[in-house]
Structure 1
Amino acid sequence: MNIVFLSPGATPHYHKFCVELKKLGATVLGLGDEVYDQLHPDLKSSLTEFYRVNDLHHYGDLVRAMGYLTFKHGKIDRLDSLAEYWLETEAKLRTDFHIEGIKTDSIESIKRKSHMKRVFQKAGLEVARGEVLRSVEDVQKFVKLVGYPVIAKPDVGVGALGTFKIRDSKELETMFNTKPANVDYIFEEFIESRICTFDGLVDVAGQIVYCNSMIYSQGIMETVNDDLDVYYYTARDIPLALQTVGERIVRAFDLKARFFHFEFFKLSDDHYVPLEVNMRPPGGYTVDMFNYAADVDLYKAWAEIMLTGKTKLEYDRKYHAVYISRKSRRAYEHSKDQIMQKYGAHILNHVSVPGVFSSALGNEGYLYRADSTQKVLEAAEYIRQKY
């Protein structure tokens, strides 16, 4: 089986997906604008070939690359980057080269937040009131219905970059004066609640083979805009109401052979309002967290689904896995040595975060697991304690 992995070196630990594909016998073909010699050694050893283009944004170059790889290796069976940024590019390439997976006829519903709302509503789910608005006057009319504050975010966008919390008419004017030109923004009513997720992996039949949920110390928007450090941790038990609405969304979007990451407002233990969907693994080091929480290997499980359409996972979420971030410009009370002395037996990794991810994930992070929420919160407090 020939599998093209788009931009294989962009996310530091995603080389593990390519490694597992090769172990299972796939011909793994890299297509990216990275310098080959700078790729992770395990990634290089897993690739049968790496085709470098100068810029992944030049679609014509990607078409020529795919034509070459098809001529040399035969029909391409799968293509993915597991990154939200390239979803539309992937869909175009799958359409043009007749590759199984999400194509251009269905990309809008998973790319545009305004279209996601339509799918939620069609599935009978409650949503936050919101719409794409292009003028101050239209937003003011919307505010008359929902009141301040309102949230403004790019209709197409990744993470919390470019997101505004608007508290009054002055901030609204500022937002329109500073937002990127020619970018559609969706404006939504502000809902005061915790954010949680429903995440997992589905096989080629759309069956959920793994799922979990994450709880955040605060929203990613607040983390980025207010320059905060964040922690988030996996659940051991998923509330029935959350799992039920999550499964409805999987069916509503007709997901096949994909990771998913759904975000919700948690209004109570039995009341969840969908915020948005992301058809990729959760960001940061979350795949590793899921593996640590249940002693599974989702890199291998995804690779098995790519090659055979299915995988068999028997798992128990025995632990909470938590990611605890620190930012270099903060003065923390406890040093790395003190942290390792106190928690080292249960710290699974200490990572340095690439700059492009640091606004959300900090400059460094600790991956820790424990069997109780109390232990998670105590560790998060200790590691993030400031002078």
Structure 2
Amino acid sequence: MNYLVISPFYPENFQQFTIELAKKGIKVLGIGQEPYDQLGKDLQNALTEYFKVEDLENLDEVKRAVAFLFYKHGPIDRIESHNEHWLEMDAELRKQFDIFGAKPSELKKTKFKSEMKKYFKKAGVPVVPGQVVKNEKHMAKAVKEIGFPMIAKPDNGVGAAATYKLSNQKDLDHFKENWDGETVYFFEQFVASKQVCTYDGLVDSQGNVVFETSFNYRYAPLELLTHNRDNAYYVLDKIDPKLQEYGRAIIKAFGMKERFFHIEFFRDKKDYIALEYNNRPAGGFTIDVYNFAHSIDLYSDYASVVVGEGVAERPFEPQFCLATTRRDKLTYVHTEDEIRETYGDKLKTVKRMPEAFAALQGDTLYMLTASDEKTVKEMINYICEKEAK
């Protein structure tokens, strides 16, 4: 099998995908813009060949690189990056070279908020009313039919970027002043709940869920963005059966294969409202958080799925795993040495966040395990407690 990785060097933790694929005897090829010498020995040894391009954003240049590797090594069986930034290019390359996996036409349902909502409804999962807004006429219609408060977000966008809460006419006027008039927006009813949770996992080549988990956000993504909070989320030791039922129905409705997924929900009292489907793993170091919570190796499990094997047995019961960040510009009550001394072997790792994620999520990430949610919340308070100004 020939497996082509787009951007094998970045992000750093995703290098492990390439390494585990190679361990399975797969011929792994790579295309990126970093010099070969920068890749490091482990990644170099895992790659059969690496093709450096001048600009990974240049689709034509990347297509020529794929054509060369195809000519030299034979048909390519998979193209993948697992990275939100490259999902559309991955799909375009699969279409161009007739390769297994999501094509551009299939990405529509995972890229556009308005399309996601159709599939959530198809799955029988609760959603809130929403409308596509392309002009001020559409905007007036949304205000009349949905009413304030609303959330306005790009129909094709990631997370909470360029998102507005519209509580009244003043907010709407502010939005109009900032809107370029070209970006298509999606207006939907505001959900008062601040509790955002997820249904995340991995499906095999037949679309069967082979790994599933769930985590809670401390702050909803919009609050994290607008108030510059310390990011914190934690994997739960078990999934609420209702959330699991909704999540599996959504997976079936979307029909993706051999992929990670990351689905966000509002928790509304004892029910859930589907918010967003992401056709990839959650960002940053979240796969590592899953691994610590479940005592597994999802990088290896993914490689097993690619070659048609089952995932490894789960010998240990899941536990809670917290990921929480701190920002360099802020002063905290407890030093990192104190965190290490206080939590000992519960502190699994400390990571510096990539620059692309740091502005939103924070600069230093701490991962810790715990046996109960009360301890998790105490950990967040201890690590994120700031000195009084």
Task: Output the TM-score relative to the length of structure 2.
Answer: 0.95
Q: By how many angstroms is 1:181 displaced? A: 5.8
- Deviations along 1:93-138, one digit per CA (max 9) or x if unpaired, are 1111111111123121111111111111223332111121023443
**Structure-1 separation of matches of 2:184 and 2:10:** 26
Q: Which moved more, 1:204-213 or 1:160-169?
A: 160-169
Deviates more, 1:171-180 or 1:289-298: 171-180
Q: Is the 8 A contact 1:204 1:309 kept in 2?
A: no
Other structure's SS at 1:48 match: strand
**Is it true that 1:247 corresponds to 2:248 in the alignment?**
yes
Which residue does the alignment assign to 1:159?
Answer: 159
Aligned to 1:285: 285
CA–CA separation in structure 2 for the residues paired with 1:202 and 1:290: 15
* Aligned partner of residue 106 in structure 1, secondary structure: helix
Partner in structure 1 of residue 141 of structure 2: 141
Q: Tell me how far 1:309 sits from its aligned partner.
A: 5.6
Give the letter aligned to residue 365 of structure 2.
G
Corresponding letter in the other structure for 2:3 = I
- Secondary structure of 1:379's match? helix
Q: Deviations over 1:356-383 (max 9, x none)?
A: 1013320111000011111111111000
**Quick check: 2:319–2:370 contact (8 Å CA) kept in 1?**
yes
Contact 1:114 1:155 in 2 (8 A): yes
Instruction: Quote how far apart the aligned CAs of 1:47 are.
Output: 1.2
Q: Distance in 2 between matches of 1:378 and 1:22?
A: 41
Give the RMSD, CA atoms, in angstroms: 1.6
The one-letter amino acid of 1:216's match is Y
State whether residues 130 and 146 of structure 2, in contact with CA within 8 Å, keep that contact through their aligned partners in structure 1. no
Q: In structure 2, do the counterparts of structure 1 residues 145 and 316 end up closer, same or farther at CA, with 3 Å as the change threshold?
A: farther
What does residue 296 of structure 2 align with? 296
In the alignment of these two chains, the number of paired residues is: 386
Measured after TM superposition, the shift of residue 177 of structure 1 is 2.6
State the identity as a percent.
Answer: 38
Amino acid in structure 1 at the alignment position of 2:110: I
1:145 Cα deviation from its structure 2 partner: 3.0
Q: Distance in 1 between matches of 2:114 and 2:186?
A: 7
Tell me how far apart the structure 2 counterparts of residues 174 and 41 of structure 1 sit (CA, whole Å).
52
Q: Does residue 1:353 correspond to 2:356, yes or no?
A: no
Matched to 1:4, the amino acid is: L
CA contact (8 A) 2:11 2:354 kept: no
Shift of residue 231, structure 1, vs aligned partner: 0.8
Find the counterpart in structure 2 of residue 223 from structure 1. Answer: 224
Residues 315 and 154 of structure 1, relative CA distance in 2, 3 Å threshold = farther
SS in 1 for 2:196: strand
Contact map agreement 1:224 1:359 (CA 8 A) in 2: no
Compute the displacement of 1:148 (Å).
2.3
Partner of 2:84: 84
Tell me the equivalent position of 1:197.
Answer: 198
- Cα deviation digits, residues 174-193 of structure 1 (max 9, x gap): 22332456321111111011
Q: Cα deviation per residue 1:230-259 (whole Å; 9 max; x = unaligned)?
A: 210001111110000000011001121111
Are the aligned partners of 2:124 and 2:249 in contact in 1 as well (CA < 8 Å)? Answer: no
Q: Secondary structure of the equivalent of 1:274?
A: strand
Unaligned runs of 5+ in 2: none
Cα distance change on mapping 1:229 and 1:167 into 2, 3 Å = same
Matched, 1:256 2:276: no
Q: Deviations over 1:74-102 (max 9, x none)?
A: 10011100012222211111111111111
Asked if the contact 2:134–2:183 (Cα under 8 Å) also holds between the matched residues in 1, the reply is no
Q: How far 1:267 moved relative to its partner?
A: 0.8
Residue type of the alignment partner of 2:143: V
Aligned to 1:206: 207
Instruction: Tell me the distance in 1 between the aligned counterparts of 2:25 and 2:304.
Output: 10
SS in 2 for 1:105: helix
- CA gap of 1:315–1:207, structure 2 versus 1, over 3 A, is farther
Deviating more after overlay: 66-75 vs 221-230: 221-230
After superposition, the Cα gap between the structure-2 partners of 1:213 and 1:180, relative to the gap in structure 1 and judged at 3 Å, is farther
Q: Is the 8 A contact 1:202 1:210 kept in 2?
A: yes
Cα drift, residue 302 of structure 1: 0.4
Secondary structure of 2:307's counterpart equals helix
In structure 2, distance between residues paired with 1:37 and 1:162: 37
TM-score by length of 1: 0.95
Matches within 5 A, 1:52-131: 52-131=52-131
* CA deviation vs aligned residue, 1:168-222 (integer Å, no higher than 9, x gap): 2222222233245632111111101111100001111211111100101111121
Q: Are the equivalent residues in 2 in contact too, given 1:151–1:190 (CA < 8 A)?
A: yes
**Distance in 1 separating the partners of 2:366 and 2:90:** 32
Q: Is the 8 A contact 1:321 1:367 kept in 2?
A: yes
Q: 1:160 to 1:42 in 2, by over 3 A?
A: farther
Contact 1:196/1:263 (<8 A) preserved:
yes
Determine if contact 1:3/1:78 at 8 Å carries over to the other structure.
yes
Identify if the C-alpha distance between structure 1 residues 294 and 24 changes in structure 2 by more than 3 Å, giving closer, same or farther: same
Distance in 2 (alpha carbons) for counterparts of 1:70 and 1:291: 34
